């Protein structure tokens, strides 16, 4: 288990993905512009009344902002991790990120059992869950998955590559600041924990595939698991 965690979150695989000086400056400017646009769009989308027909266009628009910003910033990479049987052999991370996402979701579900006993915190979670109660589940699954992919393309793709020093710290902070636009403390807290985990995955693997799979696994599990706990 310790070896599995190390290769998923800590052991940095060799790669050469450095931008030129001009490319780095361009990526930094694009990232700043789109993180501000994304924060505004996110805040507006989660202030829409649950059940409103505008919720889905707004959230897909948010995914569009993150995705356009990610690809406009410069090249993105999928990344690789070492094979657990052969440390010198590198492969695309698939199973490990999914298992990590399920484990992270389990931690959040356990925490939710405590949070629901605190009225103010439970109200914060319930305000987000209202969208699951009022909306179409297939559409919510699609929105959750698409936005999970888009957020990782941007924050662990474009933003991470735009920060030459301590990128895990700074991209997590940027992700939390963007999430704070919702005005929801619990979403911001979740962004801290998730941001650190996927940031370490990005650092270890050198790409966005592992963060995308972990984020989507976590968010889809939370979408299905949390509403019954706060019913």
The pLDDT tens digits of the residues spanning 201-212 come to: 999 999 999 999
Point out the least confidently predicted range of 37-46, 80-89, 130-139, 196-205.
Answer: 130-139
Nearest residue to 196 via CA among 178, 215, 213, 223: 215
3 state SS of 159: helix
Pair 210, 202: CB distance under 8 Å: yes
Mean pLDDT of the region 194-203: 95
Full-model pTM: 0.89
**pLDDT for residue 86 is more than 70:** no
Element (H, E) at 162: helix 160-162
Indicate if the pLDDT at residue 87 is higher than 80: no
Predicted local distance difference test score (pLDDT) of residue 137? 80
- Return the higher-pLDDT residue of 43 and 216: 216
More confident of the two residues 80 and 179: 80
Q: State residue 7's pLDDT score.
A: 74
User: Per mean pLDDT, which of 46-60, 108-122, 164-178 is the most reliable?
Assistant: 164-178
Q: What is the mean pLDDT of the chain?
A: 85
Q: What is the pLDDT of residue 161?
A: 93
Which backbone phi and psi does 170 adopt, to 5 degrees? -70, -35
User: Of the candidates 91, 100, 85, 75, which has an alpha carbon nearest to the alpha carbon of residue 13?
Assistant: 91
How far is 41 from 181, CA to CA, in rounded Å?
A: 9
**Any bridge partners for residue 90, and if so which?**
82
Tell me the CB-side half-sphere exposure of residue 59, using CA atoms within 13 A: 24
**Radius of gyration (C-alpha) of the chain in whole angstroms:** 18
- Asked whether residue 44 carries a pLDDT value surpassing 80, the answer given is no
229 Cβ contact partners less than 8 Å away, ≥ 6 residues apart:
109, 112, 113, 116
């Amino acid at each position: 288990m310790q070896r599995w965690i190390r290769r998923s979150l800590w052991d940095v695989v060799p790669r050469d993905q450095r931008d030129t000086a001009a490319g780095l400056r361009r990526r930094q400017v694009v990232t700043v512009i789109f993180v501000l646009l994304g924060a505004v769009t996110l805040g507006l989308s989660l202030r829409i009344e649950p059940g409103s027909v505008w919720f889905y266009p707004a959230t897909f628009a948010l995914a569009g902002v993150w995705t356009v910003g990610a690809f406009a910033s410069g090249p993105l990479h999928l990344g690789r991790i070492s094979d657990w049987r052969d440390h010198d052999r590198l492969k695309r991370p698939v199973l490990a990120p999914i298992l990590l996402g399920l484990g992270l979701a389990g931690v959040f579900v356990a925490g939710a059992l405590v949070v629901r006993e605190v009225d103010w915190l439970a109200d914060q979670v319930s305000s987000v869950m209202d969208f699951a109660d009022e909306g179409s589940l297939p559409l919510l699954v699609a929105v959750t998955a698409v936005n999970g992919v888009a957020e990782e393309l941007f924050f662990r793709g474009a933003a991470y590559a735009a920060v030459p020093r301590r990128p895990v710290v700074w991209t997590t902070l940027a992700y939390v600041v963007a999430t704070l636009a919702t005005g929801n403390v619990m979403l911001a807290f979740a962004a801290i924990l998730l941001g650190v985990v996927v940031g370490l995955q990005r650092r270890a693997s050198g790409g966005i595939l592992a963060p995308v799979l972990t984020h989507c696994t976590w968010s889809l599990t939370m979408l299905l698991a949390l509403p019954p706990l706060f019913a």
